[in-house]
Structure 1
Amino acid sequence: MTHNLDAFDVVMEEIGFGKVHLYAMITNGLLQMMTIHETMGMGIVAPAAVCDLHMNLVQLSTITAAGFMGIICSSYFWGYITDKMGRRWILLRTISISNICSIISMFMFSFTSFFIMRFLTGIFVAGPSFVAVTYLSEFCNKQILARVITYMYMFTGFAMLYTPSMATLFLATKQTDFEVPLWGNLTYRPWRLLGAMFMLPGVIAFFMLLAMPESPKFLFMNGDTKQGLAAMDWVSKRNTGHPLTPAQVALMIKYQAGAERKRKKASSNLIQTMFNDAMPLFRKPYVVFYIGCNLVMFTLGLIANGLGLWYTAMRNRINMRGGDKSDLSFCELLFGECTIEALEESEPEITVACNDGFMGFNDSITLGITYIILYKACWVLLYFIPRKVLFIAALVISSTCGFSMIFVTQPTLQLFCFVFFIAFPGVVVSLLGGALLEFVPTQLRGKALCISLMWCRWGAVVGTTFIGINVESHCEVTFMLIAIFPLLSASIESFLPL
C-alpha cells in the first residue's frame, strides 16, 4: 500500500477517538440490534403466533427462517449498491422500508401473508445487517478499527438481552394479557405488540443517522473531494473543536488521488456487472483469505444462529418439565420418557402451541448478558493478545462446551455449557467481520462483507433445519456433530493472516 493510501489513517489518528466515534458506534450498534431482533426475535414471536395464524410445526419453522431467507436472497444486491451509491444512502432507505414491512407483518392474519411480510422484512434488513459495520469502519483508522468494531458488535448482546426482556413483559406476565378485535378474524394480541417493539432500535438509529455525513472514504473513493473534505472537517470539528489544518487537507487530497476508483464502462447487463465487480475478491492477493473467511462464517453461523434459534425453545422445554431433573443429561431432559404428571406441557399439542406463556426467558437473558461480557472481554484482550490466538481459544472453548452437553447433568453447568457453545462462535463471527474489513480495500468492502455474512446466514438455515430434523431422534449425535464445527473453524483460522 502506498504512502498516499496511508494518509487517511494519519489524519484520523491526528484527529483522535472522540464524540463522532462514540455517536457512530451507538447509531450502528442500534442497527445491529435491529438486525438481531428481526431475525433471532422470530424465535420468540413465531411460537406465540401459532394459534392466531393456525400454523403447524413445519410452517412455524419456515416463519423463523423467513428473515434469514430474505437476507440471503438480497445481500449481494445491497453489497453491490452500497459500493455504488454509498453507505448512508443505503442505510436510510433500507431501514425505512424494513421498519414499514416489519410493522405491517404484525397485522397479518394468515400464515402466507405473515411469511411474505417477514421475507420482505428480511430483504431490507439485509442492508443494515452488513452496511452498518462497513459504514462505521470508514470513520476509523487501522489502530482503533478492531476495538471499535468489537464495541459496536457488543450491541448484539444488548439485543439478546432486550428480546427476552420485552418478551417477558408481553408474553409472560398477566398484566399485558389482552385481545383486541380489529376486523374480521384479526385480533391484536401481545405477540403482535412485541414484534412491533422489536423495530424500536431501528427507528432511533434512523433519526440518529440523519445527523451524520456519508462515509468519507467512500466519497474520496468516488472522486468527490469537496464532500469528502466536508465529511472529514465535520469529524475534526466535533472531535477536536477545530477544522482540518492545511497540512491535513493536503494529506487528504493526496489520499483521494490514490484512492479514487478508476471508472470503467459499465456493462448493460446488471448481473454481469455485479459478477465482475466481485471477481477481485477471488483473485490474488485476497482469494485464499476470503474463501477461508467464508468457510469459517458458514460453520459459525450454523452454531451461533442455527442452534441459537432453538435456544429459547429448548430451554423452555426443559423448564416446563416437572419432576426430578437430577442426574439427567441435556438430551434426556429434552426428549427422555417421563410420566404425564412430570411433564407440565402434557396438554394436547394445539393447547400448548396456543399458549403465550413461556418459562425460558430468564435463560435467554443469561445468554444476552454473556454476550455483553464476552464482547467486553474481547475488547480488552485485543490490547494484549493477538487476534488469531483469541479466535482459536474461543472456538476451542465452544467445542469443549458442546461435547460437554452430551454428558453433563448438573443444571447450572448444563445451562452455561449451552450458553458458551452458542456465544463464543457468535462473538468470533463479529470479530472476523472486523478482520475482513481491514483486509480488503474500500471499494470492495460492501461486497466482501455481504457475501461473507450471506454464507453465515446459509449456515444458520442449514443449522436450523439440520437440528429440527435430527435432534429429537438422534439428540446426542446431533450435538456431537455440531460440536466438531468450532474445531474445524479453528483449524481454518490457524492458516489465515489474521
Structure 2
Amino acid sequence: MTDIDDVFAMLGFGRMQVFIFFSCAIIQMYVTNEQLGLTVIVAGATCDLGIHDHRLSWLYATIISGQIVISPYMGYKADEIGRRRLLLITLILSLVFSLLSALMPDFWSFLVMRFIVGIFVTGPSTLVVTYLSEFTKISLRGSVINYQSYFIGISMVLTTCVASVLLPLKLSHRIVNDYALTSWRVLGLLSLLPGLVGLVTMWLLPESPKYYLAVDRQEKAMEALERCCRLNKGKDVTLSSLGVESVTQPRLPEKPVHRSVFARQWYDVVPLLRGVYFRHLALASAAIFILLGTGAGLASWMLRVRHLTLMNKDSETICAVLDKFDENKMTLPKCDLGMDDLKDSAFHGLAVLGFFIFTSILLIWFGRRVIVFAYVLGAALAGFLLNFAKDKTLILILFLVLIVTPLCSLRLTLTILIDLIPTNLRGKAVSLSMMVGCLGGLIASLFVGYTMKVSCYATFNTFVLALIRTMWHLLFHNSVIFSLENSLIPSLRRPHRNAAI
C-alpha cells in the first residue's frame, strides 16, 4: 500500500489542484462578502433600516453568535458526510438566506436572516481551507492556503469599489407600498455572484480522497485519485502505471461502533479532548482567539473610529479625539456614501491583499512560526504606537497593521493545526478552533464598544497585552503546534512524516 501523501507528491500541483484552488478562492470571496463586506452593505442600509449604534452591535453579535453555536456541529458533519458534500449543502442554504436578507423590509427581519446566514456560512468559511489542504502536498500546503487568502483582500477591494459606484446612485425602484429596491439591496444581491460561481465549480469537483480513507471507502478514494492523476498527468497515465495499486494513511480511525446520534457525536470528539491532540487544539484555539479578536473584532470599529479622527481638525492621538465626542456621535452622519467615505475600507482590503502577498514571499525563506511571530510582534508594536501617533495617515497605517497582520497569522496557524490533526478529526478541530476564534471576535467587538469611551488607552493596550501573550507562547512553549521549521533554506526544509495526514 502507498501512503496517500506520497501519491500527492507524485501527482504534484497540477490541473486538478488549480481547479480546486480557484473554486475555493471564489467561494472565499463570497464568504468574505458575507463576513467583512457586510460592513459596507450595512453602512448603505443605515437610514433605510434604521441601524443605529446599539442595533449595529446587536447585528454583529447575532451573526457571530450563529457561527459560534453551529461550528462544532459543522465540524462533526464534515468528518461524517464529507467536506465537499457539506460545503455544497451549506453554500446553497447560505446563498438562499443571504438573498432573502437583501430583500427584508425592516431591521428585525434583516437581523433574523443575517443570523441564519451566519449559521450556514460557517460551513464554507471553514471547509474551503480543509478541502483545499487535503488535495495539496505537504510541502506546499502553507503557501497554497496563503495564496487562497489573497481573495479575501480582492473581495474587500471589489466590494468597496462596487459600493462606491452603486450607493451614490440612490437607486429606488418602488415595488409595493413603501418597499423599494434600493442601492444597498442591489449591492447585497451582487455580492452573491461569487457564491453562485463557486457552487457550480464545486459541484464538478471530487470529494477528498483522504476523507474516503478515513471512512474506509478505499474504492472511492482510488477513483478520486485516479481522476486527479489523469487530469494532472494526462489521459494515458494511471495510478497503476505509477506503481500505485492501493493507498492508505497513518492514524486511521477504528471501525465505528453503532451508537445514538448524540452519543456518536460525543465519542467522535473525545479524542480531541485528551492527550497530544488536545494540546495542539488548545494552543491553536488560544492563539486564534486573540488573532481573530484583533483582526475582526477590533476591525469592526475601524470605520467609526477613523471617521472621528478625520472629523477632528487638530493633530491628536485617537484617544484624545475620542474624549472630545460623546457616545451619540459615534455614528456615520451620512446615508448616501461615496468613495470618499469608503476609501478606508478600500485601504483595508489593499492592506489585506498586500500582507498576504508579502507572506508568500516570506514563506520562501522562513518557516510559518517565524512569520507568525513577526506579524504578532508588528501588530503589538503598532497597537503600542497608537498611544502616541497624531498624524492621520500614520494612525491609519498603524491601525491597518494592528488588524491585518493577525488575520494573516490566523491562516498560517490554521495550516499548522491541519498538519497536526488526523483526517477523521480535522474538520472538528478546525471548526472548534474557529468557534473559539469567533467568540474572540464577539468579545473583542463588545469590549471595544463598552470600554473605548470609558478608557480608550485601556482598550487599545489590552489588545497589545493579549498579542504579547501570544508572542510568549510562540517563543517559549515547547508544544509541536508552533514548532519551528528546521531551516531557513527551502531546499533543506522537509515535512515531518508524522506531522501531516
Same structural fold, with TM-score higher than 0.5 when normalized by the shorter chain? yes
**Which of 446, 468, 486 is matched with 2:427 structurally?**
446
Give the superposition deviation at 1:330: 2.1
Give the superposition deviation at 1:248: 4.3
**Which of 340, 360, 385 is matched with 1:404 structurally?**
385
The structure-2 alpha-carbon separation of the partners of 1:377 and 1:351, relative to structure 1 and needing over 3 Å to count, comes to: closer
Counterpart of 2:411 in structure 1: which amino acid?
S
- Which residue number corresponds to residue 324 of structure 2? 336
The structure-2 alpha-carbon separation of the partners of 1:190 and 1:334, relative to structure 1 and needing over 3 Å to count, comes to: farther
- Which residue number corresponds to residue 22 of structure 2? 26
The 2-side partners of 1:247 and 1:76 are apart by 42
> In the TM superposition, what are the counterparts of 1:112-123 in structure 2 within 5 Å?
112-123=108-119
Bigger shift: residues 212-221 or 259-268: 259-268
**Which of 418, 434, 453 is matched with 2:399 structurally?**
418
The structure-2 alpha-carbon separation of the partners of 1:220 and 1:478, relative to structure 1 and needing over 3 Å to count, comes to: same
Counterpart of 1:188 in structure 2: which amino acid?
L
> In the TM superposition, what are the counterparts of 1:10-409 in structure 2 within 5 Å?
10-171=6-167, 173=168, 176-242=169-235, 243-246=237-240, 248=242, 250=244, 253-255=246-248, 261-268=253-260, 270-319=261-310, 321=311, 324-325=313-314, 327-336=315-324, 352=333, 354-356=335-337, 359-409=340-390
The 1-side partners of 2:164 and 2:64 are apart by 24
Give the superposition deviation at 1:273: 2.1
What's the TM-score, normalizing by structure 1? 0.90
Which structure 2 residue ranges, 5 or more long, are not aligned?
483-501
Query: What does the per-residue CA deviation read over 1:399-441, in whole Å, with 9 as the maximum and x for residues that have no partner?
Result: 0001111111122211110000001000011111111110101
Counterpart of 2:380 in structure 1: which amino acid?
S
The structure-2 alpha-carbon separation of the partners of 1:337 and 1:102, relative to structure 1 and needing over 3 Å to count, comes to: closer
Query: What does the per-residue CA deviation read over 1:11-37, in whole Å, with 9 as the maximum and x for residues that have no partner?
Result: 111111122222211211222222221
Give the superposition deviation at 1:318: 3.0
The structure-2 alpha-carbon separation of the partners of 1:76 and 1:452, relative to structure 1 and needing over 3 Å to count, comes to: same
The 1-side partners of 2:461 and 2:133 are apart by 37
Q: Secondary structure at the match of 2:238?
A: coil
The 2-side partners of 1:448 and 1:349 are apart by 38
The 2-side partners of 1:92 and 1:477 are apart by 44
Counterpart of 1:400 in structure 2: which amino acid?
L
Q: Secondary structure at the match of 2:175?
A: strand
Counterpart of 2:181 in structure 1: which amino acid?
Y
The structure-2 alpha-carbon separation of the partners of 1:359 and 1:63, relative to structure 1 and needing over 3 Å to count, comes to: farther
Matched-pair contact (CA < 8 Å) for 2:304–2:331: no
Matched-pair contact (CA < 8 Å) for 1:296–1:493: no
Matched-pair contact (CA < 8 Å) for 1:300–1:425: yes
Bigger shift: residues 142-151 or 116-125: 142-151
Which structure 1 residue ranges, 5 or more long, are not aligned?
339-345
The 1-side partners of 2:147 and 2:94 are apart by 25
Give the superposition deviation at 1:349: 9.2
The 2-side partners of 1:350 and 1:488 are apart by 33
The structure-2 alpha-carbon separation of the partners of 1:441 and 1:59, relative to structure 1 and needing over 3 Å to count, comes to: same
The 2-side partners of 1:349 and 1:15 are apart by 55
Alignment size in residue pairs:
478
Counterpart of 1:406 in structure 2: which amino acid?
N
Matched-pair contact (CA < 8 Å) for 2:226–2:239: no
The 2-side partners of 1:337 and 1:13 are apart by 59
Give the superposition deviation at 1:249: 5.8
The 1-side partners of 2:262 and 2:289 are apart by 24
The structure-2 alpha-carbon separation of the partners of 1:84 and 1:350, relative to structure 1 and needing over 3 Å to count, comes to: closer
Matched-pair contact (CA < 8 Å) for 1:39–1:68: no
Q: Secondary structure at the match of 1:352?
A: coil
- Residue 452 (structure 2) pairs with residue 458 (structure 1): no
The structure-2 alpha-carbon separation of the partners of 1:360 and 1:272, relative to structure 1 and needing over 3 Å to count, comes to: farther
Counterpart of 2:173 in structure 1: which amino acid?
V
Bigger shift: residues 128-137 or 157-166: 157-166
The 2-side partners of 1:350 and 1:363 are apart by 16
Q: Secondary structure at the match of 1:250?
A: coil
Matched-pair contact (CA < 8 Å) for 1:35–1:125: yes
Counterpart of 1:425 in structure 2: which amino acid?
P
The structure-2 alpha-carbon separation of the partners of 1:337 and 1:469, relative to structure 1 and needing over 3 Å to count, comes to: closer
Give the superposition deviation at 1:50: 2.8
Please identify runs of 4+ aligned residues in structure 1 that moved more than 4 A: 348-351, 353-358
The 2-side partners of 1:355 and 1:372 are apart by 27
Matched-pair contact (CA < 8 Å) for 1:281–1:448: yes
What's the TM-score, normalizing by structure 2? 0.90
The structure-2 alpha-carbon separation of the partners of 1:337 and 1:217, relative to structure 1 and needing over 3 Å to count, comes to: closer
Query: What does the per-residue CA deviation read over 1:100-130, in whole Å, with 9 as the maximum and x for residues that have no partner?
Result: 1001001111222111100001111010011
Bigger shift: residues 379-388 or 289-298: 379-388
Give the superposition deviation at 1:354: 4.3
The structure-2 alpha-carbon separation of the partners of 1:313 and 1:97, relative to structure 1 and needing over 3 Å to count, comes to: same
The structure-2 alpha-carbon separation of the partners of 1:337 and 1:87, relative to structure 1 and needing over 3 Å to count, comes to: closer
- Which residue number corresponds to residue 494 of structure 2? none
Give the superposition deviation at 1:353: 6.2
